[in-house]
């Protein structure tokens, strides 16, 4: 049913995903064998020792010390083995190579922000080179979030006022799903993004291209990716109102007044969304977008202004 990959786990696309899977399968099959044994014994006893005579009162079974010790010692050895194995893989998952390429990741309600050392920032796609360790230095600007890429078998919470990190090395090119896995509010399940794994050369040319100065409207269009979750540009109503064709119109507000949609109103709505709320909507837009640079804000205002 999954789009690809084996039945239980998605395809393994990072260097340590295979190790995690080996461990998963070991526990899976050992558990399955033990579980089948328990169920088989249970079913056999149920029928073999079924009460046939109402007067029968069986005597207690003499308990075998050897057998009892065996079923304490053997599972203990098994779980200790699994613990040590899990510990070993965990240590490697936890220790990024010193030469890893770093990307700063910020989580906010309800968007991801990926910032590269070259000054490039992306929102819905995180580009990474294949075959090179990548370390993500992550934090949150509001509540807890968690960064999860099933194909890489990595997950780590993003905590406000604190950095956390995670690393991986992608083994194949392609697009892989990023989920937020720590509940963060209304649109938690829409806080998605993709990891785009490309070759070293493609990555290098992508980053050069991205770091050129863009005209404000194009910069704004790029930044708008993080707004698109709640705001449509084709007139449909999502969590928030659609933003096309609103510039220059009068907007009714929840307090009964109305306001002219001009540059100042758009800017105010981004920085302090709870002050003037459009009629028919809840004041749920996070204020977390105020962290943008003046240039980014100009771009965003220009883009919204341009929407027809």
Partner 1 sequence: MSESASGTINYLNHDKSIKSWLLTLDHKRIGIMYLIAVSLAFLAGGILAILVRIELMAPGETIMSADAYNQSFTLHAVLMIFTFIIPAVPAVMGNFVLPLQIGAKDVAFPRLNLASFYIYVLGAVIAMAALLVGRIDGGWTFYTPYSTSVGDGILFVTTGVFVMGFSSILTGLNFIVTVHKMRAPGLTWNRLPLFIWSIYATAIVQVLATPVIGITMLLLFLEKFMHIGIFDPALGGDPVLFQHFFWFYSHPAVYIMILPAFGIISDLMGTFSRHQVSGYKFVALSSVAIAFLGFLVWGHHMFVSGQSATSSVVFSLITYLIGIPTGVKVINWVSTMYRGSVQLKTPMLYAIAFLFTFSIGGFTGIMLGVLAIDIHLHDTYFVVAHFHYVMMGGNVIAALGGLHYWWPKITGKMFNEKLGKIAAGLVFFGFNLTFFPQFIMGAQGMPRRYYDYLPEFQGYHLLSTYGSWVLAAGLFLILGYLLASLINGKKAGLNPWGALTLEWTHTTTPPHPHNFLETPIVTRGAYDFHLAKELFATGEEVSEVVTSTH
Instruction: Report angle CA 127, 145, 140 to the nearest 5 degrees.
Output: 80
Query: Is residue 194 involved in binding partner 1 (CB under 8 A)?
Result: no
- Of 66 and 308, the one with the shorter C-beta distance to partner 1 is 66
Distance between CA 296 and CA 210 in Å, rounded? 14
- Of 187 and 219, the one with the shorter C-beta distance to partner 1 is 187
Among 55, 212, 250, 293, binds partner 1 (CB under 8 A): 55
Asked if 14 and 154 count as a contact pair (C-beta separation under 8 A), the reply is yes
Which tokens hold the place of 90? Answer: 């965990």
Distance between CA 188 and CA 185 in Å, rounded? 5
Query: Is residue 93 involved in binding partner 1 (CB under 8 A)?
Result: yes
* Positions 234 through 263 that interact with partner 1 (CB under 8 A): 239
Which tokens hold the place of 249? Answer: 């119109």
Query: Is residue 68 involved in binding partner 1 (CB under 8 A)?
Result: yes
> Which of 284, 103, 120, 259 lies closest to 188 in space, CA to CA?
284
* Positions 125 through 144 that interact with partner 1 (CB under 8 A): 142-144
Query: Is residue 63 involved in binding partner 1 (CB under 8 A)?
Result: yes
Torsion of CA 294, 298, 300, 304, to 10 degrees: 150
Q: How far is the CB of 130 from partner 1 (least distance, A)?
A: 21
- Of 59 and 255, the one with the shorter C-beta distance to partner 1 is 59
Residue 245 burial (CB count, 10 A): 12
Q: How far is the CB of 88 from partner 1 (least distance, A)?
A: 8
Q: How far is the CB of 294 from partner 1 (least distance, A)?
A: 24
Q: How far is the CB of 122 from partner 1 (least distance, A)?
A: 21
Residue with tokens 């399940």: 189
CA distance between the termini of the chain: 41
Query: Is residue 153 involved in binding partner 1 (CB under 8 A)?
Result: yes
- Of 171 and 296, the one with the shorter C-beta distance to partner 1 is 171
Query: Is residue 148 involved in binding partner 1 (CB under 8 A)?
Result: yes
CA 241 to chain centre: 26
Query: Is residue 34 involved in binding partner 1 (CB under 8 A)?
Result: yes
- Site stretch for partner 1 (CB under 8 A), options 65-73, 114-122, 206-214, 263-271: 65-73
Query: Is residue 300 involved in binding partner 1 (CB under 8 A)?
Result: no
105, β-bridge pairs: 114, 138
């Amino acid at each position: 049913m999954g789009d690809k990959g084996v039945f239980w786990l998605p395809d393994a696309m990072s260097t340590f995903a295979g190790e995690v899977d080996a461990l998963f399968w070991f526990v899976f099959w050992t558990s399955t064998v033990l579980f089948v044994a328990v169920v088989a014994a249970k079913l056999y006893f149920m029928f073999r020792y079924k009460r046939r005579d109402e007067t029968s009162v069986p005597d207690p079974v003499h308990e075998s010390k050897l057998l009892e010790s065996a079923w304490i010692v053997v599972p203990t050895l098994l779980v200790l083995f699994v613990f040590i194995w899990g510990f070993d893989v965990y240590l490697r998952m936890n220790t990024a190579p010193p030469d890893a390429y770093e990307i700063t990741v910020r989580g906010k309600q309800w968007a991801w922000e990926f910032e590269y050392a070259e000054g490039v920032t992306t929102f819905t796609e995180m580009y990474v080179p294949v075959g090179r360790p990548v370390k993500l230095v992550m934090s949150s600007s509001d509540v807890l979030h968690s960064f999860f890429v099933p194909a890489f078998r990595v997950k780590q919470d993003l905590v406000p006022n604190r950095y956390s990190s995670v690393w991986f090395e992608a083994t194949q090119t392609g697009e892989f799903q990023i989920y937020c896995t720590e509940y963060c509010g209304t649109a938690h399940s829409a806080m998605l993004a993709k990891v785009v794994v490309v070759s070293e050369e493609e990555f290098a040319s992508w980053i050069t291209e991205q770091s050129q100065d863009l005209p404000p409207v194009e910069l704004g269009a790029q930044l708008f990716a993080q707004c698109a979750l709640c705001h449509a540009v084709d007139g449909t109503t999502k969590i928030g109102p659609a933003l096309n064709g609103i510039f220059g119109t009068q907007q009714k507000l929840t307090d009964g007044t109305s306001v002219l949609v001009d540059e100042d109103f758009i800017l105010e709505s981004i920085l302090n969304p709870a002050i003037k709320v459009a009629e028919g909507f809840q004041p749920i837009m996070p204020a977390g977008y105020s962290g943008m640079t003046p240039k980014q804000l100009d771009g965003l205002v220009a883009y919204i202004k341009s929407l027809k």
